[in-house]
Amino acid sequence: MNVTLAVKQYISKMIENSGPGMKVLLMDKETTSIVSVVYTQSEILQKEVYLFERIDSQNRDSMKHLKAICFLRPTKVLRVRSRPWPRRMNRK
């Protein structure tokens, strides 16, 4: 099996499962490299993914009108940072 094709299908399935509408793809350092190997920016734009953002980015605006797709590798740093949000920040 072609590994590049398998990864492309996996990412495509994540995007399709999020449904129609504008989306943001949140990635970490490793998954950003993976996505850039299998998709061109114009290909992924055709799938309604309009924003590509690193999870460790400090300058992040609130964009509640976009659906978020998180493609992250499970790392120790991520487990520490992904603790439950403070109650005042939880969405209802």
Boundaries of every domain in the chain: 3-89
Distance CA 21, CA 91 (A): 19
Tally of residues, the chain: 92
Q: What is the mean pLDDT of the chain?
A: 83
* CATH for 3-89, options being 3.40.190.10, 1.10.3260.10, 3.40.50.970, 3.40.50.2060: 3.40.50.2060
Query: What per-residue confidence (pLDDT) applies to 77?
Result: 63
The answer to which of 38-47, 63-72, 83-92 has the lowest mean pLDDT is 83-92
Torsion angle of C-alpha atoms 46, 51, 55, 57, degrees rounded to 10: 150
Task: Go through 5-26 and write b for each residue having 16 or more CB atoms within 10 A of its CB, e for each that does not.
Answer: eeebeebeebbeebeeeebbbb
Query: For 11-39, how does the pLDDT look when each residue is reduced to its tens digit (9 = 90+)?
Result: 999 999 999 999 999 999 999 999 999 99
pLDDT on residue 21? 92
DSSP 77-89: HHHHHTSPPPGGG
d(CA 90, CA 34): 30
pTM of the predicted protein model:
0.73
Report the pLDDT averaged over residues 38-58: 90
- Residue 56, amino acid: D
pLDDT (tens digit, 9 = 90+) per residue, 51-62?
888 888 777 677
- The band of 74, judged by pLDDT with boundaries at 50, 70 and 90, is confident
